[in-house]
Amino acid sequence: MKLDSQQLARVAALFRAFAEPTRLAILQELKSDELAVSEIVDRLTTSQANVSKQLKLLHDAGVVSRRKSGTTVFYTIADPMVFELCRLVCDKLNRDAVKPSKIRF
């Protein structure tokens, strides 16, 4: 079964959501908790505007969900596949590493 170019583009787009350190950092913070945008901003070292932008990207990709309460917006990981994906990738990096320094999302 071969994917056509349009389907490959959709697959690539979903992978791209995970292909930036800042977005991974956001997902890492969301791993344990549902968090407000401002809480994520506090935990990272980038601007509120950038966090909002990356959250929108993750949301458009279906990776996170939003919940609005008053003026604050809470985000959660929308699909547990995120954890499986990151586990697969970390496992591979650990296998490939010369020096054994385990990383795990």
Partner DNA sequence: TCACTAAATAGCCATTTGGTTATACTTGCA
Partner DNA sequence: TGCAAGTATAACCAAATGGCTATTTAGTGA
Please tell me the distance from the alpha carbon of residue 76 to that of residue 29, in angstroms, as a whole number.
Answer: 10
Is residue 37 within 8 A of residue 52, CB to CB? The reply is yes
Residue type, 89: V
**Tally of residues, the chain:** 105
Paired tokens of 68: 């609005």
Here's the x/- map for DNA, 30-69, by CB under 7 A: it reads as ------xxx--x----xxxxx-xxxxxx--------x-x-
Residues that bind DNA (CB under 7 A): 16, 19-22, 36-38, 41, 46-50, 52-57, 66, 68, 70-74
Residues that bind a copy of itself (CB under 8 A): 1-3, 5, 7-16, 18-21, 23-25, 28, 62, 79, 81, 84-86, 88-93, 95-96, 103-105
